Amino acid sequence: MMKQNTPLLFKNILIFIIFFLSSCVKEKEIKGAVVSAREEASKIGVAIMQKGGTAFDAMIATDLALTVCYPNAGNISGGGFLVYRTFDGEVGSLDFREKAPMASYPDMYLDELGNVIPKMSTLGGLSVGVPGTVAGLVEIHKRFGTLEWDELVQPAIDLARNGYIVTDNQEKSFKNKKEEFIALNGVETFYAQNFKSGDNIINLALAETLERIAKFGKAGFYKGVNADELVKRVKETGGIITHEDLLAYDPVWREPINFQYKDLNIYTMGPPSSGGICLGQIMKMIEPYEIGQYSQNTIEAIQIIVEAERRSYADRSLYLGDPDFINIPEDSLLNENYLKKRMSSFDFNEATKSSEISPGTIVWEESEETTHYSILDAQGNAVAVTTTLNGSYGSKVFVEKGGYFLNNEMDDFSSKPGVPNMFGLIGGKANAIAAQKRMLSAMTPTIVERNGKLAMIVGTPGGSTIITSVLQTILNVFEYEMDIQTAVSAPRFHHQWLPDVVVFEPSRFQKSFIDSLQEKGFNIKEEYTRIIGRVDAIHISSSNIITTGADPRGDDKAVHLY
Ligand code: DON
């Protein structure tokens, strides 16, 4: 009789158990997801879907949760854009971008000599645009909500009452901005409390504001106690928003920008965002070059992308602004022949000079924060939302009794033709300030279809780098066949016509590579510590496998629905 080898038997049983368990795990199919800047917010969105809510319901809850636990960008007091695709293929977009107060006028940030007064459009009450977020969320609920409104607000109220945990990144961010918080709001201000990583922040004032929003909807923010406090705080800090401004705010449903790139059909945000038109222009300029023949981030691929970006951002400065105020030659800007002509001066041997595309010299200034989230529900409804206070913590003006910061979106206007805003972007008449006008944005919430099926939900913060980060993520997946997480994490670069500089994420590109680009006449900036985008995306394969990419550059987190 053969002697039994007991250790071997155990080993085989163990291998069998491991194999069995791992195959069980694999079978756990992802049915939907929320990818956002904070785990708490992603979890809240998924919990709403588990309760039977759709991606639109989840959006409202996620957005409000970000207001609580991501106060640098999540907001009820800023604005944003939604691009959606329903399970049956209907697409649309909602513009809940801030507006200039009624008392605004073109030269409001200029001194007697006609020079831009530093910081006037970025810090304090005068930098605040009339907020659009709450009106936007209520509008989305009216059209698409399936759960009750107050049910969707409740998780954020609970988060504000029970608290959220400070991350390492947040500790640093609060510390960096503490002086500005105090300068505008006094030493007693809520967010100057030296919060440390691991602390639990309870924001009772915000909980009460959210309770009013839960009870009265739009009126809970734009009327009554909240309106009084907001208007008072803006006035105290030098601003001009009135009750009338708040009452007059309405979001607008707009046609998304739609264009084809090879077998992709892309829906993205149109004006007052420049995102969609620029993304379309850049991709259409790239398309004839078959960029997939060069590997990702090779010199040739980067040259093609940078030269297309240069030309598109130049157009942006001249033609784009609020479509309710100016005529935008959308079709011409996206016309294939026009875009082919634009690229006719491109030469692989030598960089085009931005001054040859259009003149100007500017200084690149520091970037701040916005936030994007992507949501997919089990039915297949897809939601891409980018929302912002503009700068990190916006104007730094804190409505103490309301528990929230106000935006500084007015800086997205062109204060003076040719003078850069805080993202180094310049503009002219098309984006000049006017009462009730919306300031031009770069936010690019985007939905990609492939062969008629939903394939990707994507977007990012990053000011002027938003468009180029969305672009690179799409190319990484569809041209370079990366999985979505690798595509999101991959090193990025950015060019925006002016300044005539290509920015590379520091230490992520080889020196010899940078040297070669410099030899071709590209001005390179690599030492800059700015993060280029923080992309949160969802990919749906042709066989309906759902995967997610949360940007490791932040605290971003994908939570799955099973
Ligand atoms: O709308 C825009 O384009 C800007 N206000 C976005 C600001 C932003 O993304 C800041 N984040 N890094």
Mean pLDDT of the chain: 93
Exposed, middle or buried: residue 286 (CB in 10 Å: 0-12, 13-18, 19+)?
A: buried
Give the atom of ligand 1 at the shortest distance from the alpha carbon of 531.
Answer: 12
Other beta carbons less than 10 A from residue 51's beta carbon:
14
pLDDT of amino acid 27: 63
Residue 24, φ and ψ in degrees, nearest 5: -65, -45
- CA triplet 131, 132, 137: central angle to 5 degrees? 135
For residue 386, report the distance from its CA to the centre of ligand 1, in Å.
9
User: What would the pLDDT profile of 272-317 be if each residue is shown by its tens digit?
Assistant: 999 999 999 999 999 999 999 999 999 999 999 999 999 999 999 9
For residue 52, report the distance from its CA to the centre of ligand 1, in Å.
33
Contacts for 259 with CB less than 8 Å, ≥ 6 apart? 266, 280, 283, 284, 334
Catalytic residue list contains 62: no
CB 439 within 8 A of CB 80: no
pLDDT of amino acid 1: 40
CB 97 within 8 A of CB 387: no
Residue 508 in tokens? 């992520």
Percent of the chain past pLDDT 70, that is, above it, reads 93
CB 190 within 8 A of CB 206: no
Ligand 1, atom 5, residue with closest C-alpha:
390
CB 220 within 8 A of CB 213: yes
d(CA 468, CA 503) in angstroms, rounded, equals 11
CB 468 within 8 A of CB 480: no
Pocket test for ligand 1, best of 423, 460, 532 (most atoms within 8 A of CB): 423
Residue 397, φ and ψ in degrees, nearest 5: -80, 125
CA 447 to chain centre: 13
d(CA 474, CA 292) in angstroms, rounded, equals 12
User: What would the pLDDT profile of 149-202 be if each residue is shown by its tens digit?
Assistant: 999 999 999 999 999 999 999 999 999 999 999 999 999 999 999 999 999 999
For residue 443, report the distance from its CA to the centre of ligand 1, in Å.
7
Q: Which residue in 54, 133, 370, 388 is the catalytic one?
A: 370
DSSP string across 333-357: HT-HHHHHHHGGG-BTTBPPPHHHH
User: What would the pLDDT profile of 108-144 be if each residue is shown by its tens digit?
Assistant: 999 999 999 999 999 999 999 999 999 999 999 999 9
Contacts for 121 with CB less than 8 Å, ≥ 6 apart? 109, 127, 408, 410, 411, 413, 415, 421
pLDDT of amino acid 360: 29
User: What would the pLDDT profile of 348-401 be if each residue is shown by its tens digit?
Assistant: 999 999 988 863 222 334 345 799 999 999 999 999 999 999 999 999 999 999
- Does residue 369 have its Cβ closer than 6 Å to ligand 1? yes
Report which of 361, 257, 274, 265 is spatially closest to residue 316, judged by C-alpha positions. Answer: 274
> How many angstroms separate the Cα of 65 from the Cα of each of 156, 451, 561?
5, 35, 18
Report which of 355, 405, 410 is spatially closest to residue 245, judged by C-alpha positions. Answer: 410
pLDDT of amino acid 19: 62
pLDDT of amino acid 358: 61
Q: Does 325 score more than 80 pLDDT? A: yes
pLDDT of amino acid 477: 98
d(CA 74, CA 369) in angstroms, rounded, equals 10
Parallel/antiparallel/unpaired status of strands 502-504 and 524-525: parallel
For residue 131, report the distance from its CA to the centre of ligand 1, in Å.
15
- Does residue 370 have its Cβ closer than 6 Å to ligand 1? yes
pLDDT of amino acid 25: 53
User: What would the pLDDT profile of 1-56 be if each residue is shown by its tens digit?
Assistant: 444 566 666 677 776 676 666 655 556 899 999 999 999 999 999 999 999 999 99
Residue located via tokens 């002509």:
341
Ligand 1, atom 1, residue with closest C-alpha:
441
The phi-psi region of residue 514 (left if phi > 0; otherwise alpha if psi is between -120 and 50; otherwise beta) is alpha
Asked whether the CA dihedral 364, 367, 370, 376 is positive or negative, the reply is positive
d(CA 272, CA 254) in angstroms, rounded, equals 10
Q: What pLDDT band is residue 507 in, cutting at 50, 70 and 90?
A: confident
- Does residue 45 have its Cβ closer than 6 Å to ligand 1? no
- Does residue 98 have its Cβ closer than 6 Å to ligand 1? no
CB 202 within 8 A of CB 157: no
Contacts for 401 with CB less than 8 Å, ≥ 6 apart? 205, 229
Give the atom of ligand 1 at the shortest distance from the alpha carbon of 534.
Answer: 12
- Does residue 465 have its Cβ closer than 6 Å to ligand 1? no
For residue 437, report the distance from its CA to the centre of ligand 1, in Å.
17
Taking 3-state DSSP, the helix, strand and coil percentages for the chain, each rounded to the nearest 5, stand at 40, 15, 40
3-state secondary structure 481-542: CCCHHHHHHCCCEECCCCCCCEEECCCCCCHHHHHHHHHCCCCEECCCCCCCCCCEEEEECC
Residue 67 in tokens? 């207001």
For residue 345, report the distance from its CA to the centre of ligand 1, in Å.
31
The phi-psi region of residue 454 (left if phi > 0; otherwise alpha if psi is between -120 and 50; otherwise beta) is beta
Ligand 1, atom 10, residue with closest C-alpha:
369
DSSP string across 43-83: HHHHHHHHTT--HHHHHHHHHHHHHHH-TTT--SSSEEEEE
CB 121 within 8 A of CB 408: yes
Ligand 1, atom 9, residue with closest C-alpha:
463
Parallel/antiparallel/unpaired status of strands 252-254 and 404-405: unpaired
- Does residue 411 have its Cβ closer than 6 Å to ligand 1? no
Contacts for 388 with CB less than 8 Å, ≥ 6 apart? 73, 75, 78, 79, 80, 369, 370, 371, 407, 409, 441, 443, 461
- When pLDDT is averaged across residues 513-518 and rounded to a whole number, the result is 93
- When pLDDT is averaged across residues 64-75 and rounded to a whole number, the result is 98
